[in-house]
Amino acid sequence: MAEHTRIVSVELNNYRQFYGKQKIEFSSREEGFTTILGENGHGKSNLLNAINWCFYKNEPHGKKNYAASSPIINTKYLLDQKKGASARTSVKVTLQVGDDLYHISRILTIMVGDIEYEAIDDDTDVMVMAKWEDEKIPAGCSIIDSETDWRISKKAKGQTDFTDIKEDYGHKMNQILPKRLSVFFLLDGEFLEKFWDSFDRVEEGIEEISHLHLLSSAEKHVGDVGISRVTRAGTGTEQDNLEKIIERNQYYEKSLGDDGVLQMSEKQRWVQLGKEETGETYHATGTLRIDDLEHDLKKMRRRSQDISREIGSVNAASAKLLQEQFDKTEELLKKAKKTKIDTENRWRDSLIDKSVYVFAKTAIEDSVKIIEGHLEKGDLPNETKTIFTNDLLERGTCICDVDLKSKMADSKETNKNRIAVMKERDKVSQDIGLDSAVSMRVSFRNKVLDDYNGFLQSNFGDLEKMYKDADGTENDLNRKLKGIRVQLGDAGDKKIQDLIKEQDQIALEERAASEEISAIKVKLSKKSEENRDCRQKIIKLAGKDAKAAKEIYHSQIWDKARTQLQKIYDELKTETRIDMQNKTWEIFEKILFESNEFKKFIIKKDYTCALPNQENVDQIVDIAAGQSLFLALSFVTALREITGYKFPLVIDSPLGKISSTNRYNLAKILPDYLKDEQLTFLALDTEWTGEIPGKDKSFVEVITEKIPVKHFLIKKKNGRSEINPYNIKGDKPNGK
Amino acid sequence: MVDISDSIKDKIDKNVKDGKEKQFLIDLLECELYYVDQEKPDFKKDFKTIIEQRFPFKPKEDEDG
């Protein structure tokens, strides 16, 4: 069982944006978590890089070309040094492994020369980087070898000083944390975000951490040792033949020709449709051909899965866009139809109402002339005559002084003059002749005669145009809608058909490859059996030839060892895979608080994974960012639990990409996560201390309900990053 | 410190009955552990030494003689 390891401290000296000496002392798990806060670009990812550089001289985190485009030595510090002076950067990591302490330190010292710059645009010059040995340093500078060093020293329990270890440093580093596994412990945000984009990490993780690679490598090496030709044990055709059979079988297994030279077939390796062929071919026979086929099978399955997803997304994306267009056009068509009906009605009404004016235009003109003749003569309209008569009756005297006062007797008017005027008034009021004619004249003049062309245009021409326009719009929209409907039915059909065709082709090739693998395995098994028989026979023939007998004896042991290693590998692989699958699912379920969204987590024989939901639809690539992070953390945790590997986790957590509910859940489970292990987080200040939407608490407030957190803040001033202890609300004093 | 995993040791125990054979496999795997990240380890030399140590050949002359 591996011993517990913890990071005690990391000390940086003029490393990248960290100016001068910066030191972080990490909490042990008993003391709580350590969190390093900082804005983007202030150096969080470079803290991971610093540890990697110190351990393995590589910087895999953050921006891809970062390492190549800027000096590893802090630029401001570097430029402060005079030409000819030395400039130094170093990273020292102190680890506790079991009861022992280790210093791992890497120092790079350069001689400052005439630093070169190149213009990348009119007003920007950038420092040119050059390769010196295997480091990138500013062009014009050189590495001082005598002051460049990598060292591992140890202070065992009870000792007072650190002394350099005697073992090979590279070997010791691999024992502490192999380079290939560092990605599972120094977890950057991008790695976690894209963990399920490729199942290679699942394979690497399981194979490497569970030491399956040791078994497969040992089995391969044993096979290579055992292939050495058996020394001739004697003479005779029978033995010759037996040896030839053994040799031929071994050559078959190792894909070697009769001359013992590696044989390749002419068959091109599988490449995804549309991608350029690599020119690589399959091994001719044996286990190497199986390896090739299995490797390509994995690629085929992966592509097939991608196609399934692509089909869904092509269809969905096209259909969504077309549906939006369809809805919009349909809405416009509805409006156009209404406009057409309105204009049609108005045009029709106008035709009915106003056509008479057109037909009777001459008569109207004559009538107007007659009316105007009357008015010119002084005729009063009857309405005016009625008003005038009523005035006389009210006054009681006519304009000729005749008495018109009312004289009533037995409720009857008796004034004959008044009665006569009243009769005349009533008679006039019944006659609307000239009154109507006058009002008709105004109407005819205003509406028709004064601007006859205008009358025709507004009552017929304009309305007709409006109707025809509305009709045209309706027709256009109808045509458009029909087109969209057709497209909607065919949404992505062409592309989907191509994808289905590709998938079908892959399925055929998959089947052929699987069948070929099975056939080769059967053949290998027979050949192995045949070799055992041959060796038995040779032993009998070899008789007293001690040298030959020894080689045959050893070759039998190699054969046996190989079979044992193969069996152990197969069993362990299956068990580890199933254990990993179950453990990952158990942890993931716990993190998701028993959510029923997913059914189970599956790691298949070829290490591809699936996460079917309740409808048995694989969601492994489509899960939300938070769930993807949880699943990746669950996998990493399962790896540790199953293999007992004990290096601490440093997690550059992409909290910003996680929904508030998942963020809250994560904060809840973290204190109980890997309870015996040291955990360190790198996070954005705002994501760590800002309130989780809808939860009234920040991420750190939820965590500190259960476990103290020691904080550091990376702050950048004038281009220099500094790391200092930091107290935030909710912090326990000094993280204790 | 990293060692051959317990699960591999358990598997060897379960699958290999002979103590010498068990140790032989452990020796081979320890070599492999040492080869991690070595581009061209000299496994032929190392393995030959191991088999000579664990399984020294004893000629059958005694039986015949």
* B32 is a domain residue: yes
User: CA-CA distance, A184 to A632, in Å (whole number)?
Assistant: 10
DSSP A180: G
Is 70 exceeded by the pLDDT of residue A639? yes
Whether residue A157 is contained in a domain is answered as no
Q: Nearest CA to CA, how far is A615 from chain B (Å)?
A: 36
Is residue A251 domain-shared with residue A362, that is, in the same domain? Answer: no
Does one domain contain both A443 and A404? yes
Q: Which residues contact A205 (CB under 8 A, 6 or more apart)?
A: A181, A184, A635, A636, A639
As for how many domains chain B has, the answer is 1
Q: Which residues of A touch B64 (CB under 8 A)?
A: 544
Nearest residue on chain A to B17, judged by CA atoms?
A: A564
Are residues A473 and A361 located together in one domain of the fold? yes
Is A400 a residue whose pLDDT tops 90? no
Residue A526 pLDDT exceeds 80: yes
Which range marks the domain in which residue B29 is found? 19-55
Structural domain includes residue A70: no
Contact B5 A565 (CB under 8 A): no
| Interface contact flag, B60 A215, Cβ < 8 Å | no
Mind telling me how many Å the CA of B21 is from chain A's nearest CA?
A: 8
The answer to whether position A141 is within a domain reads no
Contact assignment for B59 to A546 by CB distance below 8 Å: yes
Span of A12-21, A134-143, A477-486, A608-617 with lowest mean pLDDT: A477-486
Domain for residue B46, yes or no?
yes
From A229's Cα to the closest Cα of chain B, the distance in A is 14
Residue B62 pLDDT greater than 90, yes or no: no
- With cut-offs at 50, 70 and 90, classify the pLDDT of residue A645: low
Last residue of a domain, one of A562, A594, A623: A562
Out of A174, A178, A572, the one facing B7 most closely (by C-beta) is A572
- pLDDT of A591: 74
All residues of chain A having their beta carbon less than 8 Å from the beta carbon of residue B15 are 564, 567-568, 571
Residues of chain B contacting A548 with CB distance shorter than 8 Å: none
Contact A211 B59 (CB under 8 A): no
Task: Indicate the pLDDT class of residue A282, thresholds 50, 70 and 90.
Answer: very high
Q: Are A350 and A266 within one domain? A: no
Residue B23 lies in a domain: yes
User: Do residues A505 and A540 share a domain?
Assistant: yes
Report chain A residues whose CB lies below 8 A from the CB of B7. Answer: 210-211, 572, 575-576, 642-643
Cβ–Cβ below 8 Å for A561 and B24: yes
- Domain end, chosen from A508, A529, A562, is at A562
Percent of chain A scoring above 90 in pLDDT: 24
Contact, A201 vs A195, CB < 8 A?
yes
Q: What is the DSSP letter of A87?
A: E
Number of domains comprising chain A: 2
Nearest CA in chain B to A228: B44
Res A55 pLDDT > 80: yes
Q: Is the per-residue pLDDT at B1 higher than 50? A: no
Q: Across chain A, what does the average pLDDT equal? A: 84
Residues A457 and A374 in one domain: yes
Q: Kindly state whether residue A380 falls inside one of the protein's structural domains.
A: yes
Please give the single-letter amino acid code of residue A652: D
Identify the band that residue A233 occupies on the pLDDT scale cut at 50, 70 and 90. Answer: very low
Q: Where are the alpha helices (DSSP H) in A360-415?
A: 361-377, 382-395
- Is the domain of A541 the same as that of A440? no
The answer to whether residue B63 sits within a structural domain is no
CB contact under 8 A, A568 and B12: yes
Global confidence as pTM: 0.62
Tell me: do A458 and A370 sit in the same domain.
yes
Q: Which of residues 4-33 of B touch A (CB under 8 A)?
A: 4-8, 11-12, 15-16, 21, 24-25, 28-29, 31-33
Interchain proximity B11–A571, CB inside 8 Å: yes
Dist. CA A252–CA B46, nearest whole Å? 25
pLDDT tier at A348 (50, 70, 90 boundaries)?
A: confident
* Domain membership of residue A363 as a residue range: 338-480
Query: For residue A698, is it within any domain?
Result: no
Tell me the shortest Cα–Cα distance from A216 to chain B, in angstroms. Answer: 10
The beta strands (E) that lie in A77-202 are given as 86-97, 100-111, 117-121, 124-127, 129-132, 135-138, 142-143, 149-155, 163-164, 186-187
pLDDT value of position A492: 59
Sign of the alpha-carbon dihedral angle for A480, A482, A483, A484: positive
For B13, which residue in chain A has the nearest alpha carbon?
Answer: A568
In one-letter notation, the amino acid at residue A58 is N
Judge whether B44 lies within some domain.
Answer: yes
Q: Is A354 part of the contact surface with chain B (CB cutoff 8 Å)?
A: no
| Contact indicator for A569, A212 with CB cutoff of 8 Å | yes
pLDDT tops 90 at residue A564: yes
pLDDT of residue A435: 66
Q: Are residues B55 and A557, on separate chains, in Cβ contact within 8 Å? A: yes
